[in-house]
Amino acid sequence: MGLKIAVGGKGGVGKTTITSLLARLMAKHDQTKSVIAIDADPVSNLAAGLGIPEDKPITPIAELSDLIAERTGAKPGTMGGFFTLNPKVDDIPERFSLERDGVKLLVMGTVQRGGSGCICPESTVLKALMLHLVLVRDEIVLMDMEAGVEHLGRATSASVDALLIVVNPGARSRVAANHIKKLGTDLGIKRLLVIGNRIKSPEDEQLIRTSLPDFEFLGFIPEMSEVFEADKKGVRPFDEDISDVPQAVKDIVDALLALKK
């Protein structure tokens, strides 16, 4: 079975950057298997990190009204009435993803929610799709989540191999990490692993280690000037060769792949 990883953390800590680096490295590592990267954060732009050109805009799944209507038997935006709660979704990853370098990108989009318990056609399709991706697919699936990972339903969470909690040096990350740990534990996720990101000194790493005594650490990623330089040039980081990433990132990939061995 494939490896299923969710990436969470406060806004701006580096979730999208890390998700795209891990996805590209994993696709390169095992070229027989494709990697599916899921953009599940409304304010994320995973396409840029993967180097998927923005002149080919990708329509989020939640906005594919005709498809949603066809699969559920109900018009998006409606509530109540009758529609199927287990729509067909298994062809969606192939039909609605964009691929580069062995990484398929799927953009989930946002569901306009009418109250927390909303059961609407859009969220029914998204939930079914997430569940299909983590439960049935044999690929490596990486999910770039919104800050709180609340979108991960309970059924889906149970099949996620690990939730990576990204933190930066600083006290506010600690609060966020504790919050996500509680959410992840409540959702029944098997493993919670912390990645320290934007580490500029050994003190930064030590600060994170001592402020999160009850966490398991997956690795520490340094501040990378390449990320900023690439952004200025309008290309993805490590555009030429993903193997140029810092060793810490490669070690994280190895540790994640080992979870399934």
Ligand X SMILES: Nc1ncnc2c1ncn2[C@@H]1O[C@H](COP(=O)(O)OP(=O)(O)O)[C@@H](O)[C@H]1O
In whole angstroms, the minimum distance from the beta carbon of 117 to Mg ion comes to 27
Which span sits near ligand X by CB under 6 A: 6-14, 29-37, 81-89, 174-182? 6-14
Contact residues for 156 (Cβ-Cβ < 8 A; gap 6+): 127, 130, 131, 134, 135
140 belongs to the binding site for ligand X (CB under 6 A): no
| CB-CB contact of 77 with 110 (8 Å) | no
231 belongs to the binding site for ligand X (CB under 6 A): yes
248 belongs to the binding site for ligand X (CB under 6 A): no
Token pair recorded at residue 212: 């999160």
48 belongs to the binding site for ligand X (CB under 6 A): no
Tell me if residue 83 falls in helix, strand or coil: coil
The bridge status of strand 103-107 relative to strand 98-100 is antiparallel
256 belongs to the binding site for ligand X (CB under 6 A): no
List phi, psi (to 5°) of 166: -90, 130
In whole angstroms, the minimum distance from the beta carbon of 8 to Mg ion comes to 10
173 belongs to the binding site for ligand X (CB under 6 A): no
Among left, alpha and beta (phi > 0; psi -120 to 50; other), residue 120 is beta
Provide the residue type at 212 as one letter: L
List phi, psi (to 5°) of 108: -75, -45
Binding site for Mg ion (CB under 5 A): 15-16, 44
Which span sits near ligand X by CB under 6 A: 126-134, 156-164, 179-187, 220-228? 220-228
188 belongs to the binding site for ligand X (CB under 6 A): no
Question: Which residue's CB is nearer to ligand X, number 11 or number 114?
Answer: 11
165 touches which of Mg ion, ligand X, none (CB within 5 to 8 A by kind)?
Answer: none
Question: Which residue's CB is nearer to ligand X, number 2 or number 8?
Answer: 8
List phi, psi (to 5°) of 114: -105, 80
Interface residues with ligand X (CB under 6 A) are 9, 11-17, 44, 197-198, 221, 223-224, 227-228, 231
